[in-house]
């Protein structure tokens, strides 16, 4: 992975959050790190993006994004047994993000963990 991948991850996360969040709940803060949060059907999503220059954290960023999405009820499309019932734009955004981060079995390690940690 490279720096561009983290910027793509940020862009996809932002797009999904803006189109899927409960009205008025999308928030983006920049301190030392970028924090994107929103509420989806009452479930809080929060992700802290580390410095894209620190390549040792790529696997951790992607693993954490998978955990955060699942905790918010936004599983990969093929794991949604009941089917995601959002709009076409919401479904496409969710699919693009999951396609970019891959599911755990597609990650850098069997569980998407960080080998460099």
Range 77-84 contact pairs with CB under 8 angstroms and sequence separation of 24 or more:
78/103, 79/103
| 22 DSSP 8-state letter | P
Q: What is the pTM assigned to this prediction?
A: 0.80
Q: Which of 84, 101, 80, 102 is nearest to 20 (CA)?
A: 84
Phi, psi angle pair for 94, to nearest 5°: -65, -45
In a domain, 106, yes or no: no
How many CB atoms are closer than 10 A to CB 38? Answer: 23
Q: How far is CA 1 from CA 24, 39, 61, 78, 86, in A?
A: 33, 29, 11, 24, 30
Q: 60: domain range? A: 3-100
CA distance 51 to 36: 14
In a domain, 111, yes or no: no
In a domain, 110, yes or no: no
CA distance 105 to 30: 31
In a domain, 90, yes or no: yes
In a domain, 112, yes or no: no
Q: What is the pLDDT of residues 22-70, one digit of tens each?
A: 999 999 999 888 999 999 999 999 999 977 666 567 788 899 999 999 9
Q: What is the pLDDT of residues 76-100, one digit of tens each?
A: 877 665 566 788 899 899 999 999 9
**Count: domains in the chain:** 1
In a domain, 115, yes or no: no
In a domain, 116, yes or no: no
CA distance 58 to 13: 15
């Amino acid at each position: 992975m490279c720096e561009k991948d983290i910027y793509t991850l940020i862009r996809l996360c932002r797009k999904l959050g803006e189109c899927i969040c409960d009205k008025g709940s999308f928030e983006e803060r920049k301190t030392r790190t970028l924090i994107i949060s929103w509420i989806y059907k009452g479930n809080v999503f929060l992700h802290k993006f580390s410095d894209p220059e620190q390549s040792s954290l790529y696997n951790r960023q992607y693993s954490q994004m998978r955990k955060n999405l699942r905790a918010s009820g936004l599983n990969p499309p093929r794991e949604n047994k009941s089917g995601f019932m959002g709009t076409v734009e919401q479904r496409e955004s969710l699919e693009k993000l999951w396609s970019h981060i891959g599911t755990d079995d597609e990650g850098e390690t069997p569980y998407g963990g960080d080998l460099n940690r």
